[in-house]
Amino acid sequence: MSTEATERLVIYGSSDDLIEVDGKLPGCDEYAADKAYLEVAGLRIGVEFCGTWLIAVQQIDEEVPVTAVIESLVVHENGYSMELSMLVPVGTYVSRVREEGSGA
């Protein structure tokens, strides 16, 4: 990532049915779900509750540039979720994407 201005984005699970997306970017919110896919800054982030919260990160497509810088992937203070922290360019939008063949 270049020297452009960035915002911190933090993603983690809460309870067994709430996905927290913390930050000052459009699309940051609480999502009432036990599974969701988010797209931000060239990354697709899968978040799923399966006894504890799983967070998986992949590049959206080889033609889509990744503009995020992952700072950390650690156990959240709640003890049952991973917490993904990253820096993304100011003006980036977080979007929830629908799974193919799913009503999610």
Each residue of 38-75: pLDDT tens digit? 999 999 999 999 999 999 999 999 999 999 999 999 99
For 16, the domain range is 6-91
**Whole-prediction pTM:** 0.89
**pLDDT higher than threshold 60 for residue 102:** no
- Do the domain assignments include residue 69? yes
**Which residue from 31, 75, 39, 34 is spatially nearest to 57, judged by alpha carbons?**
39
**Which residue from 28, 22, 11 is spatially nearest to 70, judged by alpha carbons?**
11
- Do the domain assignments include residue 73? yes
- Going through 1-99 in order, the beta strands assigned E by DSSP cover 6-14, 18-22, 30-32, 35-40, 43-49, 53-59, 69-75, 82-89, 95-97
Domain count, the chain: 1
- Do the domain assignments include residue 66? yes
- Do the domain assignments include residue 77? yes
- Do the domain assignments include residue 100? no
